[in-house]
C-alpha cells in the first residue's frame, strides 16, 4: 500500500500562500518526482504529506490528503510519520550515535523489540540502503564519521528501519558529489519495488533517470502531472515546455 491522493490542497505560512488548489495522486510502489524552480512549493507539498508542514509556527492548510483512503489529519501524527518516512536535503545522522544506533533509533523509540530483532532490522535496512558492505566492520563508529553520501544512505536506512510504506525525499542529492549521487539514484530505482517514493529535485535529468511519474510546479500551482517520459518529450502545457527547455527558471 502507500497511495496518496491530494485533493484541492492549499498551504499557508502565516499570511503567505505557498500552495494553490493542488490535486494529484501518487501511485503506490512507483517513484514520482516533483520538479520546478526554487520557491514553487515543492518542499511544502511533501512536508504536507507527512504533516511536517503543521509543525511550522502559524502554518496551516485546507483541502484533504488521503493515504490508502484515510484522511491523514484523522491519524495520529507519530504513527503517520512511521508509515511515511522523510529524508532531507542535508544528511542529518544523530551526532552522538553510532552507525548502528542511528539505524536502530526508531525501533528503540517504538519499544518492545528484542535485541535480535533490532539486529536483523539494522542489517536489512543497511542492505536495502546499499550501505552494509561499507559499514559492517564499523557499526560502532560514529554516524557523522561517514562520508556525505554514506551519511545520506544512513539516513535512508534509518527511515527504512521502521518499515514505512512511503519514503519522501527532499532534494536528497543536492549536497552530494556525482559518485554519491549515482549511488543514491540507483538506490531510489531499487526502492520502488517495495515502497512508494516521492522525490523533490531541482535536477531534471535526475527526475528523468529515476522517476516513472513527474509533477511540474510553478508559483505554488501544479502545472502538469504525467508519466515522466511523456512530460519531458511531449508536455501538454507551454509553461512546462518552457521550463524543461531552459527558457525560464
**How far is Cα 217 from Cα 149, in angstroms, rounded to an integer?**
28
Provide the whole-model pTM: 0.91
Q: Rg of the chain over CA atoms, in angstroms?
A: 18
C-alpha cell read off for 48: 504536507
Question: Tens digits of per-residue pLDDT, 118-161?
Answer: 999 999 999 999 999 999 999 999 999 999 999 999 999 999 99
Q: What is the pLDDT of residue 1?
A: 54
Topology (CATH level 3) of domain 4-92+165-244: Rossmann fold (3.40.50)
Q: Which helix (H) or strand (E) holds 103?
A: helix 99-110
Question: Tens digits of per-residue pLDDT, 16-31?
Answer: 999 999 999 999 999 9
Reduced to 3 states (helix: H, G, I; strand: E, B; else coil), residue 142 is strand
> Can you give the residue ranges of every domain in the chain?
4-92+165-244
Reduced to 3 states (helix: H, G, I; strand: E, B; else coil), residue 64 is strand
Question: Tens digits of per-residue pLDDT, 61-96?
Answer: 999 999 999 999 999 999 999 999 999 989 999 999
Amino acid at each position: 500500500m502507500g497511495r496518496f491522493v491530494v485533493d484541492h490542497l492549499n498551504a499557508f505560512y502565516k499570511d503567505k500562500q505557498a500552495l494553490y488548489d493542488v490535486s494529484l495522486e501518487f501511485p503506490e510502489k512507483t517513484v514520482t518526482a516533483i520538479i520546478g524552480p526554487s520557491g514553487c512549493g515543492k518542499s511544502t507539498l511533501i512536508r504536507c504529506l507527512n504533516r511536517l508542514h503543521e509543525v511550522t509556527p502559524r502554518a496551516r492548510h485546507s483541502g484533504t490528503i488521503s493515504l490508502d483512503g484515510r484522511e491523514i489529519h484523522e491519524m495520529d501524527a507519530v504513527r503517520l510519520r512511521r508509515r511515511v518516512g522523510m529524508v532531507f536535503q542535508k544528511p542529518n545522522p544523530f551526532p552522538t550515535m553510532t552507525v548502528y544506533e542511528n539505524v536502530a533509533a526508531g525501533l528503540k523509540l517504538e519499544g518492545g523489540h528484542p535485541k535480535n530483532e533490532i539486529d536483523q532490522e539494522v542489517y536489512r535496512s543497511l542492505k536495502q540502503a546499499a550501505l552494509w558492505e561499507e559499514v559492517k566492520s564499523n557499526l560502532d563508529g560514529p554516524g557523522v564519521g561517514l562520508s556525505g553520501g554514506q551519511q545520506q544512505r544512513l539516513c535512508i536506512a534509518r527511515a527504512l528501519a521502521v518499515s514505512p510504506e512511503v519514503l519522501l525525499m527532499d532534494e536528497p542529492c543536492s549536497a552530494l558529489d556525482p559518485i554519491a549521487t549515482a549511488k543514491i539514484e540507483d538506490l531510489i530505482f531499487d526502492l520502488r519495488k517495495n515502497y512508494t517514493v516521492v522525490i523533490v529535485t531541482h535536477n531534471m535529468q535526475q527526475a528523468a533517470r529515476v522517476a516513472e511519474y513527474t509533477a511540474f510546479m510553478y508559483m505554488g500551482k501544479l502545472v502538469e502531472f504525467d508519466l515522466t517520459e511523456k512530460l519531458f518529450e511531449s508536455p501538454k502545457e507551454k509553461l512546462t515546455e518552457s521550463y524543461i527547455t531552459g527558457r525560464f527558471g
